[in-house]
Amino acid sequence: MLGRLNHVAIAVPDIEVASAVYRDTLGAVVSDPLPQPDHGVTTVFIELPNTKIELLEPLGEDSPIAGFLAKNPTGGMHHVCYEVTDIMEARDKLVAAGARVLGTGEPKIGAHGKRVLFLHPKDFCGTLTELEEA
């Protein structure tokens, strides 16, 4: 079912500081911050040869990463995202196997303009897991 690792997302309290760490200390190519009000985050994408890192900073009052940052005030790994070829087929198989899909259970349009779903971390080794239709 799983294809490529699309990205690893890291939640951070200050995306400018985090961008500088990746750009200046680690020497990575870092995008400009992009506010995504529909998702309650500002994102920065870091392109690596084999995958991406997505930095996430809370945006607005009810950011979905606010609780995570309250528990991890200096930031931390928030989720991994795997590509799937057919997101509805993947969802139906996982639900049939007892996995929980977060939210309404229907895919949303994610940060890259593709359909995404999030799976409950308790069903996937304690890791919030995103599926993105490739």
Q: Show which residues are catalytic.
A: 130
- Among candidate residues 69, 55, 70, the one with its CA nearest the CA of residue 16: 55
Span near Co ion by CB under 5 A; candidates 10-18, 35-43, 64-72, 126-134: 126-134
Which residues in 73-92 contact Co ion (CB under 5 A)?
81
Candidates 9, 11, 44, 119; binder of Co ion (CB under 5 A) is 9
Structure tokens at 89: 């087929």
- Among candidate residues 37, 100, 39, 99, the one with its CA nearest the CA of residue 65: 39
Task: Quote the distance between the C-alpha of residue 62 and its chain's center.
Answer: 17
Residue 130 found at the interface with Co ion (CB under 5 A)? yes
Residue 128 found at the interface with Co ion (CB under 5 A)? no
